[in-house]
Structures are given as structure tokens and as C-alpha cells.
């Protein structure tokens, strides 16, 4: 077994391994279609290694040489379709079919040209370069790029351009007088080793992107309260921590709120009605709170709103607007209203979120003890609600 044969076997095993992994990942990924395209793309492209071995050791050379070309091209088109789907772009399948047909006709027509000439080498490699460079452009032009996206775009651009380099190497070193001679040339060793390195690099990067996506989805799901759609306690504290880190010097505000007499709703009208009230109040908070803040359901009927760069006076006015008594609830009989009590406190990096929550909780307790349906400020003695006592 010479060096080129060894790399052909390695490339086959690596490509099939990637195919299996992507098809498994597709079962858990939100980008299921993309991962499936990638899996099948690696599987089809891996067949080119078998075709190359059949060219060298079995024959007839022309059939298997065209088979090697076709499997690589089909596999790369599938990879490009997967990458396009991953980045929410669409490649027209009809255009892809026309391109593949034209490339196959081109490969058939140039087969009998003298091997290793510039014309033959560049006509052979150009379709591969075009497919990968299209994928590179899709990634490079994607919005909201992360570092892994930028790295993938650069890697795909290098992979696409390397096909032109391979054409130059074929001219320099020679690719054999006949197709069956290819596997015994120095060019074959260089070509297959380059393919191995770039295939592993692209495959691992694509796999990393899909795995990071799965991890992000799982993390997000673990921080969302399913009933309300708001952040749960864990997600709320993590989000607030991020917001505090973004602006260490500013003063912020937090509002704790609690639905009044919620147990009576569950006991009198059933837990399904109670769930509908939670959903309605959550939607009310989301609709009327600033988008740059954080809203969480801390448990039961208790909610929290973190307001970055907002004074407590403004937070009190916001809490007054958030009072819930005038909202109609289809889940409850006509005439039954639900109210909420609010406690407001200042948050700073110096005192920390835990202390601010303690102060807001004390203010909330004061609102409850003074008759409910009120807004109280942590460091104030007088009721702050324009609707107090309603």
C-alpha cells in the first residue's frame, strides 16, 4: 500500500465517520435538515475513495474515474445545501441539478484530454471550487456572525481555493499518463493528504457549530418557565448578572410583584383558571416592560422585572402602569378581577442583586400588609401608587 492509497482509505473512514455523526446529531438538532444534508454529503463524497481504488486496481478506468468525480461533486453539493440551510439561505435545487449535469458532461468531455495540462486540470477542479466557494460566500455574508461562523467562512474559502492550487500541482507534478496511474503519483499523495486535512477541519467546525446550537437550545430551555414563557429563577439571575456586568457603574431598578389572593383563584375556579391567569399576567408584563430588561417568574405567582439604567422613581411609575386590576380575564367569571402588589428597589453592583431583592421583597410585603394592589418603594414609608386602596 503506497501513501496515496493509505490516504484514500483514511479519507473514506473519516468521511463515513462524519456522515454517521451528523446523522445522529440531526436527531437532536434544531437544524435537522441541515445536519441530514451534511451527513449524506459526507457519505456520498466518501464513495470517491472507493472509485479511485477501483480505477487503479480493477477498471475500466473511465467509468470509475467519472464515478469518483461524480461522487465528490454530489457530496459537495449536498454539503453546500446543508450549510445554506444552516444559515437560513436557500439554494435552488433546479440550478444545482443543471450545474451538476453540466459539470458531469464537462468531466466526460475532458477525460480524453492529455492529463496534467493546464486546460484539463483547471476544467476538472473548477466545479469543486465553485461549489465550496458558494458555501463560503453564504457563511461570510450571514448576519450576526460568531467567531465560529467567521472561522468556518474562512476555512471554506481556503478549501474552495485549494482546488485551483491542486490544478496547479497537477500541472507541476503530473497526475499520471492515464487515470489508473494517478494513485502512484506524487501529486496523488499531496492531493489526498490536503483533502484529509481540510475535510477533517471543515467537518469538525460544522459539527462544533451544531453541537453549540444544541447546547444553547438546552441551556435556554432550562432557563425558561414553561407556563409563563418568562425566565425562571435560574435564567433571571443569570440574565441580570450579564446586564450588571455590561454596566457596572450605573444604578438600576428591580420590581418584585405578586398576584393578590392567588390561592383563592386556584381554590375557587380550579388550577386551569389559575394557569390562565399566570399566562395572562406574564403576557401583560412582557408587553408593557422595556425590551432591554429581564422578566422572570420566580415561582408560583411571584414575578420579577429587572430594569437596567432606570431610576427607582421611573420604576415606580412603571409598576403603577403594570397594575393588573383592569385587565379582563376570559378564564374567570365576569366581574372577577385579579390585582397585584409591587415592591421596588434600587440595584447596584456595590449592593448586589441579592440585597436588592431582599429590599424589594420587604417593600412587596409592605404593599401586601397595607391592603394589596399597591406599589411600595424599598426605602419609603408612604404608599407610592396612584391606585392605592382601589
**Catalytic residue numbers, as ranges:** 301
Residues 357 and 304: beta-carbon distance below 8 Å: yes
Cβ contacts of 28 within 8 Å, gap of 6 or more: 214
Enter the C-alpha cell of residue 91.
439554494
355 grid coordinates: 440585597
Alpha-carbon span 146 to 274, nearest angstrom: 42
Dihedral pair phi/psi, residue 26, rounded to 5°: -60, -25
Residue located via cell numbers 404608599: 383
Would you give the distance in Å from CA 45 to the centre of its chain? 26
Q: Give the burial string for 307-320 (b: 16+ CB within 10 Å, else e).
A: bbebebeebbbbbb
d(CA 295, CA 275): 18
What the block records as the C-alpha cell of 61 is: 478506468
- Dihedrals phi, psi of 231, to nearest 5 degrees: -65, 140
Secondary structure (DSSP) of 319-372? HHHH--TT---TTS-TT----EEEEEEEE-TTTHHHHHHHHHHHHHHHHHHTTS
* CA 130 to each of CA 73, 80, 134, 173, 347: distance values in angstroms, whole numbers, following the listed order: 10, 10, 6, 24, 55
Q: How many other CB atoms sit within 10 Å of the CB of residue 146?
A: 11
Residue indicated by cell numbers 492515464: 178
C-alpha cell at 52: 479511485
Judge whether 79 and 38 are in contact, CB under 8 Å: yes
SS3 content of the chain, % helix, strand, coil (to 5): 65, 10, 25
Amino acid at each position: 500500500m503506497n501513501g496515496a492509497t493509505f490516504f484514500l482509505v483514511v479519507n473514506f473512514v473519516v468521511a463515513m465517520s462524519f456522515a454517521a455523526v451528523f446523522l445522529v446529531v440531526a436527531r437532536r438538532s434544531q437544524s435537522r435538515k441541515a445536519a441530514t444534508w451534511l451527513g449524506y454529503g459526507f457519505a456520498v463524497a466518501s464513495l470517491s475513495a472507493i472509485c479511485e481504488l477501483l480505477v487503479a486496481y480493477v477498471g475500466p478506468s473511465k467509468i470509475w474515474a467519472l464515478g469518483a468525480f461524480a461522487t465528490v461533486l454530489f457530496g459537495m453539493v449536498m454539503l453546500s445545501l446543508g450549510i445554506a440551510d444552516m444559515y437560513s439561505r436557500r439554494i435552488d435545487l433546479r440550478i444545482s441539478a443543471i450545474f451538476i449535469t453540466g459539470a458531469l458532461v464537462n468531466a466526460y468531455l475532458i477525460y480524453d484530454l492529455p492529463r496534467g495540462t493546464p486546460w484539463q486540470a483547471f476544467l476538472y477542479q473548477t466545479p469543486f471550487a465553485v461549489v465550496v466557494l458558494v458555501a463560503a460566500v453564504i457563511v461570510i455574508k450571514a448576519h450576526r456572525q460568531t467567531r465560529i461562523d467567521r472561522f468556518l467562512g474562512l476555512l471554506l474559502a481556503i478549501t474552495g481555493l485549494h482546488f485551483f492550487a491542486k490544478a496547479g500541482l497537477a500541472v507541476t507534478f503530473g497526475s499520471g499518463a492515464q487515470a489508473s496511474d494517478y494513485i502512484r503519483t506524487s501529486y496523488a499523495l499531496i492531493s489526498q493528504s490536503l483533502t484529509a486535512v481540510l475535510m477533517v477541519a471543515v467537518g469538525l467546525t460544522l459539527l462544533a457549530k451544531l453541537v453549540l446550537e444544541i447546547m444553547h437550545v438546552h441551556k435556554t430551555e432550562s432557563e425558561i418557565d414553561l407556563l409563563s414563557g418568562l425566565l425562571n429563577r435560574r435564567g433571571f439571575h443569570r440574565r441580570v448578572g450579564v446586564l450588571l456586568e455590561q454596566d457596572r457603574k450605573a444604578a438600576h431598578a428591580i420590581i418584585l410583584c405578586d398576584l393578590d389572593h392567588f390561592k383563592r383563584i386556584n381554590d375557587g375556579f380550579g388550577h386551569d383558571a389559575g394557569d390562565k391567569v399566570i399566562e395572562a399576567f406574564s403576557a401583560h408584563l412582557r408587553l408593557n416592560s422595556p425590551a432591554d430588561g429581564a422578566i422572570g417568574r420566580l415561582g408560583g405567582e411571584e414575578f420579577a422585572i429587572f430594569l437596567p439604567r432606570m431610576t427607582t422613581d421611573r420604576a415606580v411609575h412603571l409598576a403603577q402602569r403594570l397594575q393588573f386590576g383592569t385587565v379582563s380575564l376570559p378564564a374567570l367569571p365576569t366581574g372577577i378581577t385579579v390585582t397585584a402588589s409591587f415592591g421596588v428597589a434600587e440595584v447596584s453592583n456595590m449592593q448586589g442583586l441579592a440585597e436588592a431583592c431582599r429590599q424589594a421583597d420587604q417593600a412587596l410585603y409592605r404593599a401586601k400588609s397595607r391592603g394589596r394592589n399597591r406599589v411600595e418603594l424599598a426605602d419609603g414609608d408612604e404608599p407610592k401608587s396612584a391606585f392605592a386602596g382601589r
